[in-house]
Amino acid sequence: MNSFLWTIKRDPPSYLFGTIHVPYTRVWDFIPENSKKAFQLSSNVFFELDLTDPYTITALTSCQLLPRGESLQKLLPRELYRRLKSHLDYVKHMMPHWMTPDQRGKGLYADYLFNAIAGNWERKRPVWVMLMVNSLTEADIRSRGVPVLDLYLAQEAERLRKRTGAVERVEEQCHPLNGLNFSQVLFALNQTLLQHESLRAGSVQVPYTTEDLIKHYNCGDLSTIIFNHDTSQLPHFINSSLPDHERITAQQIDSYFRQELIYKRNERMGRRITELLEGNPGQAFFFAFGAGHFLGNYTVLDILRQEGYEVEHTPSGQPITEKPYPSAGSPSETELPPLRHPLGTGFPDATHPEEEPLTPHLLLPDSLSQLEEFGRQKKRPKKQQRQQGRQRQFNDLWVRMEDRSVPACL
């Protein structure tokens, strides 16, 4: 078994960990113990966006909306709007049949779930509706109700009273997607609907399934393509059946997303990691990003090495140095030293003329609803949490999904 853990050689060491956007219960048992130990021993846990801040939800939601007074019905060509509405009606009709008995037993209802993911869709920008459509599949719906891996790690970091943070500003997420021109957005939405209509008709198969992604991850397969697909979470539009003029448009969109959502973003993330490490000597960091940011060409690892850091892949059997942050058994009793953060403590305006907007870790609409649920959990009285008896240990915190099997590694 391989691993998605890298060690930044410094004193104390810091770590880079690759995640995927699937329910944590599907992968947790396969994550090597040294990756979990690295998380335990790090006083600072950083993500792409701050998943524990309610501001993240508000800002990500608002940036998806059309300007006041506009709607998709006014904006889209009539036939495209009709097909979109028809597909969403189909999804809403099918959702009760897609949900599992386990989900229903937990009180997760189809109407609630549809509204959580697709509510207010007529007010959203077309590019975000495209992403929403891609998250409304039977496989994705059946996986709802359990936090995805990075959100789960954020929840655990908060529970263990670690300091959490982000290397990206919320406002920086939307600019690249909202930067596509209107004809490109229409092409992308049309192609996305065509793919889903073909899937419904049984005439095509999905090139990469969630099960494929989970198998690659659990088997420690460090191949690039499938993880870059998960990192960008965007459909692949180029195919041989497109006429020449449409193939050119597809290639332009693919090139734009590759540059904005992978290469440019890796550079910015690597630079901000460097600033955190240089500004906070003597502190241990655990950076949890999408696995695709560490695989392929021009990765976050490459940027850090260019900055002079020694970064090593950490195999599953390699022990982690036991150098925990102060009072690891009771972190609440010890104040961590102040943290110098390249993003500062405030939130900037949505536009930053002095620097190019940073590209996002694309949180799909269903992920946003998970963040909203986490936000509601945070507002519950802490007294109730204290009455639960023995505090859970980190290694206790996973549950097998009884209705799913993991494909065997070859």
Q: What is the pLDDT of residues 131-182, one digit of tens each?
A: 899 889 998 898 888 899 999 999 999 999 999 999 998 777 777 888 889 9
- Label residue 330 by pLDDT band (50, 70, 90): very low
Distance CA 68, CA 40 (A): 46
Q: 313 lies in a domain?
A: yes
Is residue 246 a part of any domain in this protein?
A: yes
Q: Between these two residues, 388 and 20, which has the higher pLDDT value?
A: 20
Nearest CA-CA partner of 259 in 221, 291, 228: 228
* Distance linking the first and last C-alpha atoms of the chain: 11
Which residues contact residue 124 at a Cβ distance below 8 angstroms, ignoring those fewer than 6 apart? 64, 65, 66, 72, 132
Residue range of the domain that includes 199: 5-396
- 296 within domain boundaries: yes
The SS3 assignment for 165 reads strand
Let me know if residue 163 belongs to a domain.
yes
Chain-centre distance for alpha carbon 63: 17
Residue with the bigger pLDDT between 385 and 168: it is 168
**pLDDT computed for residue 228 by the predictor:** 59
At residue 298, the pLDDT reads 92
pLDDT at 278: 96
Q: Are 2 and 315 in contact (CB under 8 A)?
A: yes
pLDDT, residue 126, reads 95
Pick from 170, 175, 150, 176: nearest CA to 58: 170
For the cut 80, the answer to whether the pLDDT of residue 204 exceeds it is: no
Q: For residue 231, what pLDDT is reported?
A: 53
Whether 304 maps to a domain, the answer reads: yes
CA 35/CA 7 separation, integer angstroms: 10
In a domain, 153, yes or no: yes
Quote the percentage of the chain above a pLDDT of 70.
73
What is the tally of structural domains in the chain?
Answer: 1
* The pLDDT of residue 235: 60
DSSP string, 290-329: EGGGGSSSS-HHHHHHHTT--EEE--TTSPPP--PPTTTT
The residue among 395 and 91 whose pLDDT is bigger is 91
Q: For position 394, what pLDDT does the model report?
A: 38
Q: What percent of the chain has pLDDT over 90?
A: 45
Residue 363 within a domain = yes
Whether residue 78 is predicted with pLDDT greater than 90 in this model: the reply is: yes
Do the strands 285-290 and 44-47 form a parallel or antiparallel pair, or are they unpaired? Answer: parallel
Higher pLDDT among residues 46 and 263, named by residue? 46
Q: Which residues of 142-175 are buried (b: 16+ CB within 10 A; e: fewer)?
A: bbbbbbbbbbbbbbbbbebebbbbbbbbbbbbbb
Pairing of strands 311-313, 5-8: antiparallel
Tell me if 46 is assigned to some domain. Answer: yes
